[in-house]
Structure 1
């Protein structure tokens, strides 16, 4: 994987990009899927399926079960519309769903802020090390736990 640049989407542009990516994957952009994506994209931090189910329930005025949201989130991860932050069992919307690559997450243990960074050289090295050990890497998960700059600044004050 070479270094690359891509446009980050937000708001309506993100929704349009996500819909296009899902449809290119051969899936339908249903009303429920649109509602789940809108809720997911509305969170500033990784959100659990329960957080998303609650947000969709409030928006639609009816109860939405978390297990239905989990199925949609699994589809979103497979279609590259969302990423799963494994250590938090939570999800974030992918701001560039047309670009498929391994992700690295920086997770703040104090405030929960999660930053997604791309480093194709690091990802390639991890995949290469796995292959060197006789392992076929399918989905590397790289998460770095620590403290974000804002929390470090608060701690210093």
Structure 2
């Protein structure tokens, strides 16, 4: 895996603080609702849909929060590098390194839904260069590999 010199992974309260700083640097406010949506997203062990997040925030707030509002916040988070969208699942995960901008590769388990984030700038740089060589101006490569995680692959082997 290849990273820039300032590649720091955050978790818990440190991740929320890093996300807030990144959003404010992008010229946006860290509102209470944005903080709640980010916190709810961070609590999911697997990629979460806007509906999953809206339900979690609604339960915590004791009032209904519309999925449309959550979608708008998630779009903002993706644009500010606070979250990543797992395109094939129409779901989101927090970005554990919001201070570092680079393309990510996601390994998505078709059995359990677990999604693993990899950083390999050699691969994503090659994809960007191939697009450029084809006369295309890449904005954001989305690389997702579907298959089975190690745990689900091991279960399949034992069951066979």
TM superposition outliers: structure 1 runs of 4+ over 4 Å? none
Determine helix, strand or coil for the equivalent of 1:115. strand
What CA distance in whole angstroms lies between the structure 1 residues aligned with 2:3 and 2:73?
A: 30
> Is 1:62 the counterpart of 2:98 in the alignment?
no
Match of 2:104 in 1: 103
Q: Which runs of 5 or more structure 1 residues have no equivalent in the other structure?
A: none
Is the contact between residue 4 and residue 100 of structure 2 (CA under 8 Å) also seen in structure 1? no
Aligned residues: 156
Q: How far apart are residue 156 of structure 1 and its match?
A: 1.8
The C-alpha deviation readout for 1:96-134, integer Å capped at 9, x for no partner, is 000000010000000000001000000100000000000
Is the contact between residue 40 and residue 52 of structure 1 (CA under 8 Å) also seen in structure 2? yes
Determine helix, strand or coil for the equivalent of 1:64. coil
Determine helix, strand or coil for the equivalent of 2:146. strand
Is the contact between residue 21 and residue 98 of structure 1 (CA under 8 Å) also seen in structure 2? yes
Q: How far apart are residue 11 of structure 1 and its match?
A: 0.5
The C-alpha deviation readout for 1:38-64, integer Å capped at 9, x for no partner, is 000000000000000000000110000
Q: What TM-score results when the alignment is normalised by the length of structure 2?
A: 0.95
Aligned CA RMSD, in angstroms, stands at 0.9
Match of 2:4 in 1: 4
What CA distance in whole angstroms lies between the structure 1 residues aligned with 2:85 and 2:77?
A: 10
Determine helix, strand or coil for the equivalent of 1:17. helix
Q: Which runs of 5 or more structure 2 residues have no equivalent in the other structure?
A: none
Match of 1:38 in 2: 39
